[in-house]
Amino acid sequence: MATYQYVAKDALGKVITGTSEAENEQILVRRLREKGYWVQKVNPARVAARTQPHARRGGSGMMAAFGRVSGRDLAIFCRQFATMIDAGVSLVRCLAVLEEQSGSARLRAIIREVQSAVESGETLSRSLTRWPKIFNNLFVGLVRAGEVGGVLDETLNRLATFMEENERLRRKVKSAMTYPVLVLMFASIVVVGMVTFILPQFIAVFKDLGIDDNLPAPTRLLVQISNFMTAKWYMMLGGVLLFFVTFSQYTHTRIGRRHWDWVKLKAPVFGKLNHKICIARFSRTLSTLLVSGVAILQALETVAGTVDNEIMSDAIMASRAAIREGEQIGDPLQRSGMFPPMVVQMVAIGEETGSLDAMLSKIADFYESEVDSTLAGLTAALEPILIVSLGFVVGFIVISMFLPLMHAISQLQSGGETGE
């Protein structure tokens, strides 16, 4: 017979731990159930000490503190979790399988801790709250709604779909911005290289020819820039670093975050794009929460925390306060001025017909398609603008470098003709 260590609860909810001999785990579990115990965990005695939460928290806790968990990893986690729950696999067994299958080291460590907490009697939603940066309010709220309603598999499927759509939108924005960013980086490297390495060679030629005191205005400007970048490059680098550090610290304050979010909504060209992204995220998130059975007030509070814009969040929370006082949803959204008339009218119609979640899903589909078309148009417009701008800057530098040489050559030719 093997010796097993078990953790169980009696009829009064008291946790009982102990060891017992049995032919296998199933027989021990059946024996404990016959005694009226609710078995939570059974482990072979020789590995029990190694698998207890306090014994393994050191390693897994360190792993959970580093690395990152992408939206794609979380979406796969939810989809696989829902599939196993729907197939009737126990919660603890699901978590054990998910830990083995996850491709993220940090997520594996977190799943291990969640499994340990669930085995100790915690609910799944409660155990997820220990990692708010990984499982946000939306994630935890949907899992809690699924637990209460007994439809955890459906809720996890909805959550996986939501995260896949959100990740798809995020990838499109990143891919659309990749080309302009690369062009700007290449242009910056070219300009800095020409000003700091090539232009000093031309300045030495100008001195040899004795024309460094009579340079054209564009060349003088370029020489001053080159002298500053080569002699006082540390000041320029320090200024850039200081700007980014100051900007980062300021935007992490509440006032700074509000100002930056306002700029992102009102900026030319990009402001409309950010506004559409916020509305699409608002509609998709609220629709997912409502269809999962979350109350409207709680859903709006969760959406306000996940929309990722303080100005939009304030408008949503003001609407929530008005709805709590008895108003309909569309009226406070219209007063906020942050939601277009089409969104307000569709929300009002959805509330009147009792299909608010479906109407919000249609709004999200519409604005996500709007984001796609805006990104395509923006990318098509930025490409020629960036190329022309790069050509103008490089052309200015090249012309400024060759103007003195052309002037010197013309003087030599005129001097030669006069001598003849």
Q: What is the mean pLDDT of the chain?
A: 80
Average pLDDT over residues 170-176: 79
27 belongs to a structural domain: yes
Residue 417 or residue 339, greater confidence: 339
Q: Is residue 221 part of a domain?
A: yes
Q: Among the three residues 51, 68, 88, which one is the final residue of a domain in this structure?
A: 51
Q: Residues 347-405: pLDDT tens digits?
A: 989 988 888 889 998 998 899 888 888 888 887 777 788 888 888 888 888 888 888 87
On the 0-12 / 13-18 / 19+ scale of CB atoms within 10 A, 270 is middle
Is residue 154 domain-resident? no
The pLDDT of residue 46 is: 45
Same domain, 172 and 44: no
Residue 41: pLDDT over 60 = yes
136 part of a folded domain: no
The domain in which residue 28 lies consists of 1-51
Burial of residue 255 (number of CB atoms within 10 Å: 0-12, 13-18, 19+)? exposed
Question: Is residue 61 included in any domain, yes or no?
Answer: no
* CATH number of residue 258's parent domain: 1.20.81.30
In terms of domains, do 38 and 174 share one? no
Q: Exposed (0-12), middle (13-18) or buried (19+): which is 222, by Cβ within 10 Å?
A: buried
CB within 8 A of 120, min separation 6: which ones?
7, 40, 53
Taking alpha carbons only, the member of 147, 112, 146 closest to residue 130 is 112
Q: Within a domain: residue 283?
A: yes
pLDDT bucket at 207, cuts 50 / 70 / 90: confident
Residues 45 and 177 in one domain: no
Q: What pLDDT sits at residue 168?
A: 82
CA end-to-end span of the chain, whole Å? 118
Which has the minimum average pLDDT: 18-22, 114-118, 259-263, 288-292? 18-22
How many distinct structural domains can be found in the chain?
2
Statement: residue 113 has pLDDT above 70: yes
Q: Is residue 402 part of a domain?
A: yes
* pLDDT exceeds 70 at position 22: no
Long-range contacts from 311-314, C-beta under 8 angstroms, 24+ separation: 311/258, 311/261, 311/262, 311/265, 311/338, 312/261, 312/265, 312/278, 312/282, 312/338
Confidence grade of residue 245 (pLDDT, cut at 50, 70, 90): very high
pTM of structure: 0.65
Task: Say if residue 58's pLDDT is above 50.
Answer: no
Last residue of a domain, one of 15, 33, 51: 51
> Residues of the chain with pLDDT > 90: what percent?
5
Which CATH number covers residue 24?
A: 3.10.20
Q: Is residue 64 part of a domain?
A: no
DSSP 280: H
